[in-house]
Amino acid sequence: VVDDNATNRRILQEMLTFWRMRPTVVADGRTALLELRAAVAAGDPFSLLLLDAMMPEMDGFEVAGRVREMLPAERPPVVMLTSGGQLGEAARCRELGIDAY
């Protein structure tokens, strides 16, 4: 889970834990990419990425693009979350290979 909003992170963490998942929750894209690399290196890659579309510095779309570059073949499914969709975001998701928006 990558979201700059602490409340959203907490809600998603609780929900995913309730569903018997083991979420890793971070506040920004840079940290997300570090965690992703570490998980792959440890042989325990993530099975799902939930990204906030609107974050400062590196938004969810940039994170998705970097993940696509890092893991072209074994990329986990990516879900883009947004509370205020912008015109053109759906097309951008298709372009980046994002699985759900």
Q: What is the pLDDT of residues 44-66, one digit of tens each?
A: 999 999 999 999 999 999 999 99
Q: Each residue of 76-87: pLDDT tens digit?
A: 999 999 887 666
Q: Place 97 in a pLDDT band, splitting at 50, 70 and 90.
A: confident
pLDDT of 73 > 80? The answer is: no
Q: Each residue of 21-31: pLDDT tens digit?
A: 999 999 999 99
- Nearest partner of 4 among 46, 63, 45, judged by Cα: 63
CA distance 51 to 60: 5
Q: Of the given ranges (21-25, 39-43, 44-48, 89-93), which has the lowest mean pLDDT?
A: 89-93
User: What does the mean pLDDT of the chain come to?
Assistant: 91
